[in-house]
Amino acid sequence: MELQLVDNILLAVLHQKAIVSERKRMNFDLRTSGEDQSQRMLNTLEPGTEVQIHHHTQTAETIICIEGCMDIVLYDEVPEQEVVNVERQFVEISRVTLCPREGKYGVQIPLGVWHSVDVKEPSTIFEAKDGAYVAQ
């Protein structure tokens, strides 16, 4: 059995990869095998990363902030009848700051809730969802 240590060295390596990544973020898979159908990962996010507004139709999502500071932003979709011939539109309904220094560690985002992030400073989160990974 090999232990996977989550420490400052691992987080620093992930941040260095995120900084040079076009998306300004980098994830680290914590699943134990390809047969593991859960989603458990570390995700380092740099200021300026853009996470599309999205939702999960099959699972809730748990997000725990290990370091840094960021907002989880929740949205409502604008009903189609109010928007003609335009891509989906969203309106921000609330935001929650995650910042371990302030004792604000994490959130459980319910199934189906539209969300994104606003990264204030280099951050690392632990994400967990049910089911196999599906690209957004």
- Could you report the per-residue pLDDT of 5-35, keeping only the tens digit for each? 999 999 999 999 999 999 999 999 888 766 7
Residue 134, pLDDT > 60, answer: no
* pLDDT at 81 (0 to 100): 62
Which of 35, 102, 100 has the alpha carbon at shortest distance from 68? 100
| Torsion, Cα of 32, 37, 39, 41 (10° steps) | 10
Distance separating alpha carbons of residues 80 and 97, to the nearest angstrom: 30
3-state secondary structure of 8: helix
Of the pLDDT bands very low, low, confident and very high (cuts 50, 70, 90), residue 119 is very high
* Mean pLDDT for the stretch of residues 55-66: 95
Averaged pLDDT for residues 106-118? 97
- Which bin fits 85, alpha (ψ -120 to 50), beta or left (φ > 0)? left
The reply to whether the predicted model has a pTM over 0.85 is yes
Q: Is beta strand 114-129 parallel, antiparallel or unpaired with respect to 61-77?
A: antiparallel
The CATH label, of 2.60.120.10, 2.60.40.2140, 3.30.499.10, 3.40.640.10, for the domain at 8-129 is 2.60.120.10
pLDDT at residue 136, rounded to an integer: 46
Q: In angstroms, how far apart are the furthest CA atoms of the chain?
A: 57
